[in-house]
């Protein structure tokens, strides 16, 4: 086969344009023209370049995964896989990925050997394989739109909702979400509050912390918020539990450590662009804005945060050059700035590469969080096994069949239903007798969602007594009934409306049962307003 045909076939097999392939091969300013000549047979590349072309994209650097994996995870809003890399390094197996951008899909495919599924809004949760951990660096754009209206009072219409619905249906053991640090303060904190409320309604223990990339070994400020959660239906999580987010590594960073030694002249900005940057900085300073280009050198400890707009003019990170105008970072330097290893392949044009790395994550930060998550999940698993052993086989089987089922199918559904109707509440409030499942202080109303077995619902087929150790179970369950009656009376004596929802009622007809609850709440509201 002719060399020209080999080059053409290689490029087309990777679905790359002339510019994308020339940039990926590092051919410089005239790269597109040079590559076109090679493909036309006008002249040929040297032997080293021929080898580079032949090997390019032959083996995805992150294709190899453990057959089973120590744990399974999914990669949502995957981008180019920055969150995936550390979890795969720790022995995890990615069983599903989703990313709608075609250029990011291209980069993902050539590095991981798979094409992510497209628009997650069009994918049913039931079609996603079972997994242990959900990963998602979900976009933040919808929040500004929500803030104009209801302050994110409803997650529908936002991409967080896609994460919420998948978590709700698939019940992963844990999740890691990443977003801009401004998420915490958006709409006076209401956006973040609603997100955490929705995760709580799903019965997940969730915590968040803002971490800085420069504290984890990469020379870039980049502050992002990370939300870690664990399933309380699965793990026995202590009431005082707090996730140990990683502490700063203490490693000194230096911009020079990520810079390439030889850089093509095309990255040096033009006289016109440099003059424009300087003029805008002066004007902004005079107007009190304080915005403009940012200049760095080899000895700078870190740069400002690289963004997806870097491709436009590179103003947020410019590198000093002796006797020349400053230059933009190269795509490889952007990759290093985010902590991507050098074996990570960049198969797209410079403009697309800038967007991709600007939208991606600081890999070392994810790596540190991933290690802590893996360790904590192991620890919580041990606690779960210990508790299971203490319960005994018989008790454990009843516990799993009654309590665990109730928590996932009943309490969570009731909370979500009430929340969707605009009711705001506290959950499992220990300050009140019986630790009510749902407390609505505004309406002085308590709601108990009772499992028919544990609370012995009269004339219910579920409320049977085990045939073994009958005396033990009779005494235990009778105590539950007596305590329920005592707690209910105490609450009513103090002016609280007590509503009891039974497991069997919800399973028989959820909508009718909840409609009756809403009717009681509306009547309570009316009486409250009258007084």
Q: What is the pTM of this model?
A: 0.74
The most confident of the ranges 158-167, 294-303, 451-460 is 294-303
Q: Sign of the CA dihedral 481, 482, 483, 489?
A: positive
Residue 153, pLDDT score = 53
* 3-state SS track over 362-381: CHHHHHHHHHHHHHHHHHHH
CA–CA distance, 32 with 18 (Å, rounded to integer): 6
Given a cut of 80, whether residue 390 has pLDDT beyond it is: no
From residue 56, give the alpha-carbon distance in Å to each of 21, 59, 119, 263. Answer: 10, 8, 29, 21
The answer to whether residue 394 scores a pLDDT higher than 70 is: no
Band of pLDDT at residue 149, cut at 50, 70 and 90: very low
CA dist 368 and 336 (Å) reads 17
pLDDT digits (tens, 9 = 90+) for 260-296: 988 989 999 999 999 999 998 888 887 777 677 899 9
Instruction: Examine the pLDDT at 392 and tell me if it is beyond 70.
Output: no
The pLDDT of residue 13 is above 60: yes
Q: What average pLDDT does this structure show over 106-124?
A: 92
Strand order in the sheet with 497-502: 426-427, 438-440, 445-450, 497-502
Q: Please, what is the average pLDDT of the chain?
A: 87
CA–CA separation, 375 and 33 (whole Å): 52
- Strands 445-450 and 204-212, how do they pair? unpaired
- pLDDT per residue as tens digits for the range 155-201: 555 788 899 999 999 999 999 999 999 888 888 888 888 899 889 98
| pLDDT greater than 50 at residue 403 | no
Helix-strand-coil percent breakdown of the chain, rounded to 5?
50, 15, 40
Give every CB contact of residue 81 below 8 A, 6+ residues apart in sequence: 62, 75, 97, 107, 108, 111, 112
pLDDT at 59 over 90: no
* Residue labelled with tokens 């180019």: 80
Distance of CA 262 to the CA centre of its chain: 37
User: What is the dihedral sign for C-alpha 354, 355, 358, 359?
Assistant: negative
Residue 154 has pLDDT above 60, yes or no: no
Report the chain's C-alpha Rg in angstroms: 29
Q: Taking each helix axis as running N to C, give the angle between helix 412-420 and helix 510-530, from 0 to 180 degrees, rounded to the nearest 10.
A: 50
The model's confidence at residue 148, banded by pLDDT at 50, 70 and 90, is very low
DSSP string, 391-444: H-HHHHHHIIIIIIHHIIIIIHHHHHHHHHTT---EES-TTSTT--SEEEGGGT
Note the pLDDT tens digit of each residue in 463-497: 888 877 788 888 888 999 999 999 999 999 888 99
Q: Enumerate domains of the chain plus CATH numbers.
A: 3-55 (1.10.260), 71-253+363-377 (3.40.50.150), 393-530 (3.40.960.10)
Q: Phi/psi at 95 (nearest 5 deg)?
A: -105, -5
- What per-residue confidence (pLDDT) applies to 398? 43
Work out the end-to-end distance of the chain between its first and last CA atoms, rounded to an integer number of angstroms: 91
User: Which residues are known catalytic residues?
Assistant: 140
pLDDT at position 243 is 95
pLDDT of 399 over the 50 cut: no
Mean pLDDT of 235-244: 88
- Higher-confidence residue: 326 or 422? 326
Q: Please report where in the chains the tokens 């929500």 appear, as a residue.
A: 146
Q: Which of 53-67, 106-120, 174-188, 340-354 has the lowest mean pLDDT?
A: 53-67
Contact 83, 360 (CB under 8 A): no
pLDDT at 191: 84
Q: What's the pLDDT tens digit per position in 313-366?
A: 889 999 999 999 999 999 999 999 999 999 899 988 899 999 999 999 999 999
Contact of 318 with 296, CB cutoff 8 Å: yes
Q: What is the rounded distance in angstroms from the CA atom of residue 232 to the CA atom of residue 191?
A: 23
Which region among 70-79, 173-182, 404-413 has the lowest average model confidence (pLDDT)?
Answer: 404-413
Longest dimension (CA), the chain: 94
* Number of residues written out for the chain: 531
Q: Determine the pLDDT at residue 404.
A: 40
């Amino acid at each position: 086969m002719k060399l020209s045909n080999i080059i053409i076939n290689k490029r087309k097999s990777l679905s790359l344009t002339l510019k994308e392939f020339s940039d990926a091969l590092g051919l410089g300013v005239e790269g597109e023209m040079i590559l076109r000549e090679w493909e036309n047979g006008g002249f040929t590349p040297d032997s080293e370049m021929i080898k580079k072309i032949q090997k390019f994209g032959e083996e995805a650097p992150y294709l190899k995964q453990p057959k089973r994996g120590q744990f399974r995870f999914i990669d949502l809003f995957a981008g180019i896989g920055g969150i995936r890399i550390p979890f795969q390094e720790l022995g995890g197996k990615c069983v599903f990925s989703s990313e709608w951008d075609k250029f990011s899909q291209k980069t993902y495919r050539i590095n991981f050997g798979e094409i992510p599924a497209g628009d997650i809004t069009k994918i049913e949760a039931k079609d996603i394989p079972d997994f242990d951990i959900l990963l998602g660096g979900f976009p933040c754009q919808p929040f500004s739109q929500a803030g104009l209206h209801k302050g994110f009072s409803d997650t529908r219409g936002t991409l967080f909702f896609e994460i919420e619905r998948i978590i709700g249906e698939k019940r992963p053991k844990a999740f890691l979400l990443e977003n801009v640090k401004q998420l915490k303060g958006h709409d006076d904190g209401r956006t973040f509050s609603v997100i955490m409320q929705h995760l709580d309604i799903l019965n997940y223990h969730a915590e968040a912390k803002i971490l800085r990339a420069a504290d984890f070994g990469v020379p870039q400020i980049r502050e992002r918020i990370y939300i870690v959660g664990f399933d309380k239906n699965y793990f026995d999580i202590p009431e005082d539990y707090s996730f140990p987010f990683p502490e700063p590594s203490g490693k000194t960073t230096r911009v020079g450590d990520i810079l390439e030694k030889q850089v093509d002249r095309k990255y040096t900005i033009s006289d016109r662009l440099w003059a424009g940057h300087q003029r805008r900085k002066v004007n902004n300073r005079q107007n009190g804005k304080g915005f403009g280009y940012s200049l760095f050198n080899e000895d700078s400890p870190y740069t400002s945060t690289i963004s997806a707009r870097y491709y436009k003019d590179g103003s947020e990170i410019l590198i000093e050059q002796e006797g020349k105008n400053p230059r933009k970072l190269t795509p490889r330097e952007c990759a290093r700035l985010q902590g991507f290893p050098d074996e990570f392949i960049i198969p797209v044009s410079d403009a697309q590469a800038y967007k991709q790395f600007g939208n991606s994550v600081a890999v070392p930060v994810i790596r540190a969080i991933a290690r802590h998550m893996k360790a904590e999940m192991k620890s919580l698993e041990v606690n779960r096994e210990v508790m299971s052993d203490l319960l005994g086989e018989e008790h454990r089987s009843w516990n799993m069949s009654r309590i665990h089922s109730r928590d996932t199918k009943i309490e969570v559904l009731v909370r979500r239903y009430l929340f969707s109707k605009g009711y705001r509440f506290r959950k499992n409030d220990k300050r009140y007798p019986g630790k009510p499942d749902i407390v609505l202080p505004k309406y002085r109303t308590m709601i108990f969602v009772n499992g028919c077995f544990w609370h012995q619902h009269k004339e219910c087929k579920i409320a049977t007594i085990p045939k073994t150790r009958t005396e033990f179970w009779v005494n235990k369950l009778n105590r539950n009934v007596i305590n329920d009656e005592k707690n209910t009376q105490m609450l009513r004596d103090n002016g609280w409306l007590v509503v009891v929802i039974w497991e069997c009622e919800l399973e028989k007809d959820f909508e009718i049962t909840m409609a009756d609850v809403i009717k009681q709440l509306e009547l309570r509201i009316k009486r409250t307003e009258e007084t």
